[in-house]
Structure 1
Amino acid sequence: MNEAIRLREEGTDEARLRLIELAEKNPRDAVIAYQTAWAHDSAGLEAEAAPFYEQALAGEGLSTEDRHGVFVGLGSTYRVLGRYDESLATLRRGLGEFPDDGVRRYRRAVEYYADHLDDVE
């Protein structure tokens, strides 16, 4: 896992492949699911990232920081995919779970996306 994270940080596709293998062997591991989602998202593979983010939210074992990251990552991924209702619901759920911090540090980005919902890339 540590090697896969290091490779993800370096931006190699090897990381994504290793994380997929780990996720298949450990389908209930939320940390692996999050790292796998992140690797896909970083590679511009949002459609492939979404199920791993969803799996991470459904699982257990994420740190508070990682769970926060899952909400932001999944909400952003849904937006890129044009799944606006799911994006909004995810970000609201994140705000509900993290009312004092939540996604507020991403306020400018969230407001931008809210104003540009029809701008699908």
Structure 2
Amino acid sequence: MIRGVRGATTVEKDEESMILSATEELFHTLIKENSIDPSQVASLFISVTPDIRSVFPSKALRNFKDWKYVPIMNMQEIPVENSLQKCIRVMIHLNTDSAQQEIHHVYLNRATVLRPDLTEKE
């Protein structure tokens, strides 16, 4: 079955090094928390808020072993008024036998406000 694995993070500035570093941190955490094998990833969407323009976040995945053939799409978020700024969101479509409630979605930095129900420790 294909499951969606969500994650998000933020950066303080629209700078390539910050965006790539934050994206790498997010993916390292998502991979670790969900034991993701790239051969089981069907596709991956990365969206950014309109204030991120200096680099495609997917460039960070070039440093990950065996992610070369994973189809990735970068896109821009809808510019909703008063929404979280400088935010990078991801959706991984993963082939897995895990139940929906066993998926670990990851929200880092200021992105924890997006899903406090998933980021609060029980």
TM-score by length of 1: 0.29
Query: When the two structures are superposed, what TM-score results if normalisation uses the length of structure 2?
Result: 0.29
Higher relative contact order (CA 8 A, sep 6+): 2
